[in-house]
Amino acid sequence: MRTGAIAQAEVKTDEIDAEILANLLRCDFLPEVWGPDGVTQRLRRLTGVRSALVADRTRLKNRIHGVLAGLLVVLPEGGPFTAKGLAWVRGLELPEDARGTVDRFLRLYHAVDAELESLDAQLRTLAHHDDRVRLLMTLPGLAHGTALTLIGALGDVTRFSDGDHAASYLGLTPVVRQSAGKCHRGPITKADSSTARAMLTQAAQHAAEHPGPLGASFRRLRKRNARNVAIVATARKLVTIAFLMLRNDEPYRYARLERVRARLRHVERAVEEAGKPAGARTGRNPGPEPKDRLNRTYARAGLPGARGPQEWPRESDAPSTRPERGSSRRRSMPRRRGGGPGRKRRKWRRDHGLMTRHAIRPQGRRARLAWRSGSDGHEDRFRGRFRRKRRRRN
């Protein structure tokens, strides 16, 4: 590509730049830019409006909380925004100005909540008729709103080579700065849709409690990192798994049966309330009904079945990477297994001439000190931590 010819040109006018661009386009040197289709644009608009309405409702809740907190009012159990809580707020005795302010915020809250419920019913209807959305709803933490937002943000998943590129497109990969032999990794890039990134982060909060591999991955990361770091890493893992599910047309293998049934029933109920029968979606799963309960639920919902371990690609089917006999590649070293002392590994290194003085540490304080300094140990016997211990004793 020679698009730098425009920036490096000594004479720059609109006519010259247009001629250069026309020649580059004629020679097929300009890269193609993906543009969202009509369905993707509609999903982005609707999910963006839903996100704005949720933010407005949360803002009104916080304002009501602020008025009540300023008057030192103790809130009931469950909060003031349940059915009982709203009735309690209406009957609460407050000063005249505070009462008027709370009533105004309550009217705005009910108006926004009604609009949000109407839009959410429309989104649930779209989710029921979109196989991709119902496929992603089998993931832990992903309801119809997050699934629609993710599909609207990614668009055509076939334009990504793997899940890492999809996560990078959503800004969930760390910034990498490399120079010579140094490599620094900073925070995530936060590119593209902030709405999709926020919803995936909320979904990761629920996926962290999942008993399957996603929850285990979060708990393993949480042991050595902060919670927010583990949550963002789990959100990225959700994107990579969602990419593979959409590419392979396969639901999540470790889903919780009760949660999946509840989500799929929730979107079906929206279609029934609209006056259109949901019906049984069994066109994609002809044949006998599966034996396991999870795949039976997927089949009744019209989703493809999750493949078992016997159907996964085996290592024997992949091309072998072992070197041929007689090649110059170094023989593999026996790996250390378990928590043993590694005597077999050291013996292998000693037999092949790879043993160094750093492989075996002599026992005893004076011997270790001499081994580190390369001397007999007399002049270094009180160095380091041993010198500090002597000072503390005195």
How many domains does the chain fold into?
Answer: 3
Pairing relationship of beta strands 174-179 and 182-188 according to DSSP bridges? antiparallel
Contact 167, 277 (CB under 8 A): no
- Other Cβ atoms closer than 10 A to 92: 14
The whole-number pLDDT of residue 369 equals 53
pLDDT at 20: 84
- The answer on 4 and 120 residing in a single domain is no
Structural domain boundaries, residue 62: 39-127
Residues 169 and 101 reside in one and the same domain: no
88 plus 217 within the same structural domain? no
pLDDT at 84: 93
Q: Are 150 and 275 in the same domain? A: yes
Residue type, position 365, single letter: R
DSSP 247: H
Q: Which phi-psi region, left, alpha or beta, contains residue 207 (left: φ > 0; alpha: ψ -120 to 50)?
A: alpha
Identify whether 346 is part of a domain: no
Give the dihedral sign, CA 12/16/20/22.
Answer: positive
What is the pLDDT, as a whole number, of residue 358? 45
One domain for residues 197 and 71: no
Q: Check residue 4 and give its pLDDT.
A: 65
Domain boundary among 281, 301, 333: 281
Q: Is residue 311 part of a domain?
A: no
Same domain, 69 and 104: yes
Identify whether 175 is part of a domain. Answer: yes
Q: Which of 73, 106, 127 is the last residue of a domain?
A: 127
Query: How far apart are the C-alpha atoms of 320 and 349, rounded to whole Å?
Result: 26
179 forms beta bridges with 182
Domain match, 260 and 228 both: yes
pLDDT at 182: 86
Write down the pLDDT at residue 277: 62
- Per the domain annotation, does 174 fall within a domain? yes
Please tell me whether residues 229 and 264 are part of one structural domain: yes
| Residue 226: how many other CB atoms lie within 10 Å | 10
Q: What is the pTM of this model?
A: 0.73
Residues of the chain falling short of pLDDT 50:
1, 280, 282, 321, 323, 326-334, 336, 338-340, 355-362, 371, 374-383, 385-386
